[in-house]
Amino acid sequence: MMDQDPKSTGSTTAIEHRSFARIGFLGNPSDVYFGRTISFTIGNFWASVKLEPSEHLVIKPHPFHDLVQFNSLDHLVNRLGNEGYYGGVRLLMAICKVFRNYCKDNAIQLHQRNFTLSYDTNIPRQTGLSGSSAIVSAALSCLLDFYNVRHLIKLQVRPNLVLNAEKELGIVAGLQDRVAQVYGGLVHMDFSKEHMDKLGHGIYTPMDISLLPPLHLIYAENPSDSGKVHSRVRQRWLDGDEMIIKSMEEVGNLAEEGRTALLEKDHSKLVQLMNRNFDLRRKMFGDECLGAMNIEMVEVARRIGAASKFTGSGGAVVVFCPEGPSQVKLLEEECRKTGFILEPVKIAPSCLNDSDIQSLG
């Protein structure tokens, strides 16, 4: 989402962009296995990045997420236990490096003026809502405008830049989240091997957000059990494990069936597809890998007859109550009992402007 006046895209005024949390609706995690997915951005949570022209190039630490001053040793240790070692500074540095190298490799001239980058985010940690990539995506948008190169870097390529910045830091992920956040709104994505080999990216098709039924989000305030066991699914897929290959193929096909179900407003089909998506993930990854708390979030919704699945790889769950408000009331009660947070999903519409659409060619 653009927060600045389009006329101020030169390099003399402050530029600010938001990038929203995303929900993987159907087909995940097949995006890293040449599959297909449907995802959308939500207005419930976002990251924002501000770029201000300055004499030196400065990456500003966040006063909370990059805390370096503590009341005591105990405070430091507790803080690391809850928040981990990493804030957003490293993400901003990584996208600056990837952006500059991409421009250099593609003969895109950049002016020599400097800037200060700062960020903020309200995306809950470890909830599988793509908090890290939201910061990177918002920062990339600021850089595109500061250097006035939005029209020179294709929209389809930008998710790769976001992912490459995260890969710099050892973050293992696929393109799905970055596509959703770069495009905004509801997007169908086809990552078939043919497209990935030939184009270096998938085929991304925006869809009308009004096709989505009312949805809810369940997450935990302190996601302590997010599945600590390292998954061997990727290696098994590479080794030709027939069960993994067939299951992942079926997961990708769910997105194709989901696109038809959305277009036809076939909500009973959506219920089946969402539940099947989670069941296939559970079959491939196993309960120990998924984590007891994550599984319980899914089960809470299923106990009252709602459809549910992970938004990402765990930490939060997207829920569809096909029976409407009365079923939502039951879900609210179940979440109260179990201590989970429940809120209605607010769909964030597409954030593309004329320059973005022009870059599609």
CB contact at 8 A, 45 and 185: no
Backbone region of residue 185 per phi and psi (left: phi > 0; alpha: psi in -120 to 50; beta: other values): left
pLDDT of the residue at 87? 79
Higher pLDDT, 67 or 245: 245
pLDDT of the residue at 4? 38
76-103 pLDDT, tens digit per residue, is: 888 887 777 777 899 999 999 999 999 9
155-187 pLDDT, tens digit per residue, is: 999 999 999 999 998 887 889 999 999 999 999
Measuring CA to CA, how many Å separate 201 from each of 31, 139, 192, 333? 11, 21, 9, 43
Give helix then strand counts, H and E, for the chain: 13, 10
Higher pLDDT, 67 or 152: 152
Cα–Cα dist 289/225, whole Å: 10
Mean residue pLDDT of the chain comes to 91
pLDDT of the residue at 7? 37
- DSSP H helical ranges for the chain: 73-83, 89-105, 131-146, 158-168, 176-183, 193-199, 233-238, 242-263, 267-285, 287-290, 292-303, 325-338, 354-359
207-221 pLDDT, tens digit per residue, is: 999 999 999 999 987
On the question of a cis peptide bond just before residue 29, with omega within 30 degrees of 0, the verdict is yes
Higher pLDDT, 117 or 65: 117
Q: β-strands 15-26, 36-54: how paired? A: antiparallel
Spatial CB neighbours of 208, under 8 Å, sequence gap ≥ 6: 186
Active site positions, annotated? 177
CB contact at 8 A, 223 and 126: yes
Query: What is the pTM assigned to this prediction?
Result: 0.89
Spatial CB neighbours of 173, under 8 Å, sequence gap ≥ 6: 32, 133, 163, 166
- Arithmetic mean of pLDDT, 335-345: 96
Q: How many Å from the N-terminal Cα to the C-terminal Cα in the chain?
A: 21
50-66 pLDDT, tens digit per residue, is: 999 999 999 998 877 77
pLDDT of the residue at 70? 85
Provide the percentage of residues in the chain whose pLDDT is more than 70: 94
Cα–Cα dist 33/174, whole Å: 9
Tell whether the model's pLDDT for residue 8 goes beyond 70. Answer: no
